[in-house]
């Protein structure tokens, strides 16, 4: 298990999402929900859409392709056609102001 440094929290406005490539080229979506930080896979489990191109509605990210959605906090599918959960990553806000993601 390791941690990877991602973006500065100041680059992520409240209730917004950003795409970030990890060192192994895994693409993740990093979210700021009311000042809490979350991270999931950025690729929708229904197709090849980047969720970071979608919209946040409440605690959910809406996929830009077919408007299925996922719970940002858990990665669980919330609306069809999404039925497979997203990979979810633990996050931590470092004292240096960067968001860190735990990689299994």
Contacts with ligand FES, residue ranges (CB under 6 A): 44, 46-47, 49, 63, 65-66, 68, 81-82
Least spacing, CB of residue 33 vs ligand FES, in Å: 20
The β-bridge partners of 20 are 28
Nearer to ligand FES, 76 or 90 (CB): 76
The CB-nearest residue to ligand FES is: 47
Least spacing, CB of residue 64 vs ligand FES, in Å: 7
């Amino acid at each position: 298990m390791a941690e990877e440094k991602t973006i500065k929290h100041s680059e992520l406005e409240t209730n917004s999402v950003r795409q970030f490539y990890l060192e192994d080229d895994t693409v993740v979506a990093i979210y700021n929900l009311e000042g809490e930080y979350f991270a999931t896979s950025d690729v929708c489990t229904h197709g090849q859409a980047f969720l970071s191109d979608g919209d946040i509605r409440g605690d959910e990210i809406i996929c830009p392709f077919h408007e299925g959605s996922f719970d940002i906090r858990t990665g669980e599918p919330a609306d069809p056609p999404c039925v497979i959960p997203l990979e979810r990553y633990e996050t931590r806000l470092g004292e240096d102001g960067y968001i860190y993601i735990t990689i299994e």
